[in-house]
Structures are given as structure tokens and as C-alpha cells.
Amino acid sequence: MEVNVDAVVEQLCQQIPMPVRDYASDPRMVVIRSFDINRPGDTLKLSGKGASGLKGGVAGGSITRGVLRVNDVVEIRPGLVTRDSNNHIRVRPLRTRVESLGSESTQLKFAVPGGLIGVGTLLDPFLCRQDKLVGNVLGKPDSMPKVFIELTIHFTMLRRLLGIAGNDSVKETQYEQYMQDNFGDSSRLTKVSKFKKHDVLQINVGACTGLATVVGVKDDLAKLKLERPVCADIGESIALSRKFNGSFRLIGWAKIVKGKALMLD
């Protein structure tokens, strides 16, 4: 309808503070896309001046801190995740060099936090095709977080779950009355029960989404065994979801307290 758009823009500018950008720390980027930019039929051409033709894979995402520059040497964690003959998880980080930086059609010499950035690398395009690197973290080799397979978290549960009809008799509260007045159905509110041992949750750590099994709960602390390893900082926030009626729904959030790190190859 394009009504009061100017008022909305004014409120966004005046009420929402500009985020504090950290330009001094070592660069860190969360990978939310990765792809192969070569066309079918492209081949690697060798000559006395070197190789040409094929281009390395591209990782796309948002820089959360620091400044990333062309020709920087970077590491991607967890990288390649495999299992050996004993079914033990093996993690091999990928190390490469930044060949190019781009924002849409604009080529950059360096990139700072904010917006989406495409990072051209020297990685085998096969490793990047079809979003294979989604959920990884890119940064300077000596400043990367550890890769965890188990996490201890301090969690907070949502009070109510929206969008699913519940059969529990729920006291009439101001929030329920708001739902009744605005949506005409307070039964859409469902109580969120505290999870227990052996529950299977879906967790979101940065851009990484995976399943985790609860192996222990005490008060507001829980220990999770992850299905796939994640690269994360201690104190980082994560989202918790549980399956309702065949789909995962948000039930709370948590902060990482500590974790069991994997040895890297």
C-alpha cells in the first residue's frame, strides 16, 4: 500500500542503534552459501605462465568482525568431516588463499562487517558446490575457535509455543488475551515443557543446523552430544528446536558454557 513508509524509515533510523563494528580483531566470517562458478565443460589449461580456465570455489556469508583482504591466508572449520573404519569422526580444516572479494557485481580489495560478501578461493570447486560449506566458519588460521562434538549449554525455555493447538488448560494471561484479541484464537498457545535426557533437539549455531541428543540435564544446564561437529566460541548463543507434529519448532535459546573439542587432522 506504500502508506507511512517514511514514518517506518524514520523510526528505524532513530530507534534502532547502529551495531558496533569490530575492525581490529582478526577476521571471522560465517559461511551461509558456497558454490562452484565454473560452467559445464570448463577445463584446466596449463601453460608456461601457469594454470587458467577453472576457478576455485566461492564461499558467501557475513563478516562478523575484522577486515578480510585479498591474498589473506584463511582457514575454514570444521572443513572436511569424515568417519574412519572405527566410526570415529575425523575433522580436517581447509586452508586456502583469498583470490577475490565481491559484493553483488562489485569487486573489492577488502571487506568489513555488514552485508553479504562472496570470497573467491583456491579450493577445489567440488568442495564448494551445492552449499557444501554452509555452517563452516572462515577466518585467520591462528585465531579460529575450536571444533566441538559435545556442548554444555546454559539454556532458557520459551514460555509458550505459537502456531500449534494445545489441549492443556492454560490460565488466562495478558499474553493469551492479546492473542485472543488480535488473532481470535488463544488455543494456538502451547506450553513448552523442559527437555529431558535422551531428547533429540535441533540446534542452530551460527549458520550450522544439526541434531543433538540430550545426555544430561541439571537445573538450567544441559549436555548435548552433536550429530555433526560445529566450530563455535565459548559464550556463543545458539537456538534450540524440538519436533512438534512432524516439524521442528523453536523452544528456547542457550549460551555455550564449555565443550568437548575434537583433534584436528
Q: How far apart are CA 211 and CA 227, in angstroms?
A: 6
Confidence of residue 163 (pLDDT cuts 50, 70, 90): low
Following DSSP, what letter does each residue of 34-55 receive, concatenated?
Answer: EE--PPTT---EEETTEEES--
At residue 115, the pLDDT reads 86
At residue 46, the pLDDT reads 55
At residue 164, the pLDDT reads 55
Contact assessment for residue 229 and residue 81, using Cβ atoms and an 8 Å cutoff: yes
Of the CA atoms within 13 Å of residue 98, those in its CB half-sphere come to 28
Q: How far is CA 9 from CA 1, 4, 5, 15, 123, in A?
A: 15, 9, 6, 10, 42
Compute the mean pLDDT over every residue in the chain, rounded to the nearest whole number.
Answer: 86
Task: Quote the pTM value.
Answer: 0.81
Confidence of residue 240 (pLDDT cuts 50, 70, 90): very high
Task: Report pLDDT digits (tens) over 82-135.
Answer: 988 888 899 999 999 999 999 988 999 999 998 899 999 999 999 999 999 999
Task: Report pLDDT digits (tens) over 53-96.
Answer: 788 899 999 999 999 999 999 999 999 999 888 888 999 999 99
